[in-house]
Amino acid sequence: MLSFIARRLAIALPTLFLVVTLSFFLMRAAPGSPFDNGRRLTPEIERNVRARYGLDKPLTVQYAHYLGGVVTGDLGPSLKYQDKSVGALIAEGLPKSATIGLAALALALSVGVTLGLVAALRQNGAADYAATAVAVLGVCVPTFVTAPLLVLVFASWLGWLPTGGWGGIRNLVLPVIVLALPQTAIISRLVRAGMIETLRSNAIRTARAKGLPPSRIVLRHALPAAVVPLVAYLGPACAGLLTGSLVVEQLFGLPGIGRFFVISALQRDYPVVMGVVILYSALILLLNLAADLAQAALDPRISLA
């Protein structure tokens, strides 16, 4: 296992370096400047500001300086949020994004796995068709449609929940549901397909021939093998949920890093955008590694070699 982790890290580090390099130069190649928005600065003030942040130096010098900071854990200062570093903004927004993302993931897993199991065990029945319809709706209807609809019904018409903002548990209900809906649909389809294939395998036929109870066959023998494709999917899905949904945080006014990312991209706040990209890339690489290890633990046929 240690050799497998070492090999994966040997691939992950150059990949992360490539992401940092491409993101840095693509951000600078985009039209516009961090100082184009709002009140127009005089040429002298703009020169002083650019010199303060090192933007007056050649691009290669800026890149070398930024890369040196990344290696030491310094993601630089924000160009728009005064007196705040990128690390401070991420530390401020990540717990909020992670709270919503983990809650949405827990909801999606509990509902999605249940729907997938019911659909597989009742294949081509009413329960299967109902679960399939829910999955299709969850995948096809985007979050920027479901979010306003839920706000209209449960916040505006019924008055049960707040329209947005960060506060108590009631403020999290609608964002969590909106984030969980598409994930629930995908998880249910993955579990259904994996369970149907597993139930037709020789191992399950042998377990039935031995007279094992159906519940034990499903939960102890079929389910661990059926969720292997789901575990592979959860790696990048967890990274996306932990770093916040750009649309959901913007619609509900949540102070997570997804909202910071959108605002900073519009304002050309290069360091903040770069910091979120690096965080997201690192999470994907680490969670994919964790998913591979979990797959090998669930299915003995998968070798880490």
Are 168 and 291 part of one and the same domain? yes
C-alpha span between 84 and 265 (Å, rounded): 17
Q: Is the pLDDT of residue 2 over 80?
A: no
C-alpha span between 29 and 21 (Å, rounded): 12
Give the model's pLDDT for residue 282.
87
Are 158 and 294 part of one and the same domain? yes
The mean pLDDT of the chain is 82
CATH number where 179 lies: 1.10.3720.10
Tens digit of each residue's pLDDT (9 = 90 or more) over 161-211: 888 778 778 888 888 998 888 888 888 888 888 888 888 878 778 878 877
C-alpha span between 237 and 240 (Å, rounded): 5
80 within a domain of the structure (yes/no): no
Tens digit of each residue's pLDDT (9 = 90 or more) over 244-302: 677 788 888 888 888 888 888 888 888 888 888 888 888 888 888 888 787 777 766 66
Q: How confident is the model at residue 38 (pLDDT cuts 50, 70, 90)?
A: low
Are 143 and 292 part of one and the same domain? yes
Are 96 and 66 part of one and the same domain? no
Are 62 and 96 part of one and the same domain? no
Are 152 and 284 part of one and the same domain? yes
Are 34 and 134 part of one and the same domain? no
Q: Which residue has the higher pLDDT, 103 or 45?
A: 103
Strands (E), the chain: none
Domain that holds residue 110: 92-298
Question: Which residue matches tokens 């969980």?
Answer: 180
C-alpha span between 275 and 89 (Å, rounded): 9
Structure tokens at 94: 């990540």
How many domains are there within the chain?
Answer: 2
Give the model's pLDDT for residue 224.
79
Sign of CA dihedral 144, 145, 147, 148: positive
Give the model's pLDDT for residue 10.
83
Q: How confident is the model at residue 18 (pLDDT cuts 50, 70, 90)?
A: very high
303 within a domain of the structure (yes/no): no
Give the model's pLDDT for residue 244.
62
